């Protein structure tokens, strides 16, 4: 079967280090940390009192107030980035076949803030079941894709993937497969998350998953550093327009990159801990390479999952060395979560955008906050510490892994 080729023709980003794609990229290459004391609520009694929040967002610029009240923040973020991606793509919405345009989105948690607020209000009441009529529609994860499709009239495949922190990459792979199988022409795909809340911070604190470096939030996310003590919770969204190549060329679209391969596996090991030898991580990269018809030595840059947890960072580098062998020492490897924090179900989309922009600009974003080497990591690996590095990038691979043992990898190619 002749598979269609899939390209990226639009980008949208809303992150803790920039509220547009351009601002996000500037933050990345300048090594900006998005971590700061929490403003969403009084966090003084929590073990972790900081996060990577979206900052200086004037919602009224993007969404009508009446409509915004029907949406949890994770859906608002989805709408803002979808709008940017559509505008960036230059799509004439009146000229495309909307029955062949779809939305596949990702969110690991969905409307956590809405759930917390409604249940808390009920618990504080007199027992009378009074709930906002928008409670359920605001909370459910799939509503983000629903709102996007309604706004643009896209009548093709429409759903949300939920695979924890791998959700957005899962969504990209699903959209990729629909297009290359000839079942659709284009998708708005990506992911969003807005879990910076009492429930989010408290829940991850209870798991001992979050950094507790309250004395220095900006340096708390430190992947591969000896003193890393957990991830920093982030929020935001990333949207990509994925389009069949000939469809894009016919309308004269600018093309950022080609999506050439994807892989999905399971660790089948533990509900939260990654496999200590990176078993699922190594197999998913191998599957993505095979899917793209590439050899390990074709890859120039890996945007790693790299959450700044004691176990996860070690397992991922072991997996890279297993698959890439001697070529691992010729790669640039970096974790942009050192700057954005961990955007959970949105991470894969935001990091895909980082990988695409790295290809376009021939610059590898850094892994910031490296202070102390850890003997657990091979010193021969180029983990791109503290400063961006110029490099020609023809192929970039992006990893995202999630609680439950979900692993996803995607590979982007420079479009010629």
Q: Annotated catalytic sites, by residue?
A: 165
| Assigned token pair, 308 | 């700044």
- Supply 197's token pair: 């809340």
- Interatomic CA distance for residues 64 and 58, integer angstroms: 11
The residues near 129 (Cβ < 8 Å, ≥ 6 apart) are 122
SS3 406: strand
> Given phi > 0 = left and psi -120 to 50 = alpha, else beta, which region is 405?
left
Burial of 252 (0-12, 13-18, 19+ CB in 10 A): exposed
Classified as helix, coil or strand, 213 is coil
Cα separations in angstroms, 326 against 80, 296, 322, 331, 381? 42, 10, 9, 10, 10
Exposure of 294 by Cβ count < 10 A (0-12 exposed, 13-18 middle, 19+ buried)? middle
Distances (CA, A) of 258 to 6, 85, 136, 366: 6, 16, 37, 23
Strand order in the sheet with 101-106: 158-161, 101-106, 186-193, 236-244, 6-14, 257-266, 406-413, 395-402, 301-303, 332-334
CA dihedral over 354, 403, 34, 330, signed as positive or negative: negative
Q: Which uninterrupted H or E stretch holds 118?
A: helix 112-124
């Amino acid at each position: 079967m002749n598979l269609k080729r899939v390209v990226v023709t639009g980008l949208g980003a809303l992150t803790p280090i920039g509220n547009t794609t351009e601002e996000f990229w500037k933050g990345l290459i300048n090594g900006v940390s998005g971590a700061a004391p929490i403003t969403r609520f009084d966090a003084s009694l929590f073990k972790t009192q900081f996060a990577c929040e979206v900052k200086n967002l004037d919602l009224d610029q993007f969404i009508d107030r009446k409509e915004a009240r029907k949406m949890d923040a994770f859906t608002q973020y989805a709408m803002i980035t979808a709008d940017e991606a559509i505008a960036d793509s230059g799509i004439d919405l009146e000229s495309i076949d909307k029955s062949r345009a779809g939305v596949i989105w990702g969110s690991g948690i969905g409307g956590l803030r809405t759930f917390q607020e409604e249940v808390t209000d009920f618990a504080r009441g007199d027992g009378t079941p009074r709930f906002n009529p928008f409670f359920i529609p605001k909370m459910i994860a799939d509503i983000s894709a629903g709102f996007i499709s309604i706004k643009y009239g896209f009548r093709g495949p429409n759903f949300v993937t939920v695979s924890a922190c791998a959700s957005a990459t899962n969504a990209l792979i699903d959209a990729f497969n629909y297009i290359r199988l000839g079942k659709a022409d284009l998708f708005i795909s990506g992911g969003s998350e807005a879990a910076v809340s009492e429930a989010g911070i408290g829940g991850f604190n209870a798991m001992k998953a979050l950094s507790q470096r309250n004395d220095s939030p900006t340096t708390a996310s430190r992947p591969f550093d000896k003193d890393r003590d957990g991830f920093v919770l982030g929020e935001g969204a990333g949207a990509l327009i994925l389009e069949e190549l000939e469809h894009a060329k016919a309308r004269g679209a600018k093309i950022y990159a080609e999506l050439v391969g994807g892989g999905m596996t399971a660790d089948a090991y533990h509900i939260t801990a990654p496999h200590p030898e990176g078993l699922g991580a190594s197999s998913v990269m191998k599957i993505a390479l095979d899917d793209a018809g590439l050899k390990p030595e074709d890859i120039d840059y890996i945007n790693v999952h790299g959450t700044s947890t004691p176990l996860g960072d070690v397992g991922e580098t072991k997996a890279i060395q297993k698959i890439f062998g001697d070529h691992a020492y010729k790669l640039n490897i970096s974790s942009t979560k050192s700057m954005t924090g961990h955007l959970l179900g949105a991470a894969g989309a935001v990091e895909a955008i980082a990988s695409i922009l790295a290809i376009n600009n021939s610059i590898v974003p850094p892994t910031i906050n490296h202070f102390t080497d850890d003997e657990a990591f091979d010193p021969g690996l180029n983990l791109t510490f503290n400063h961006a590095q110029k490099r020609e990038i023809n192929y970039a691979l992006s990893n995202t892994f999630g609680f439950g043992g979900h692993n996803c990898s995607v590979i982007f190619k420079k479009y010629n």
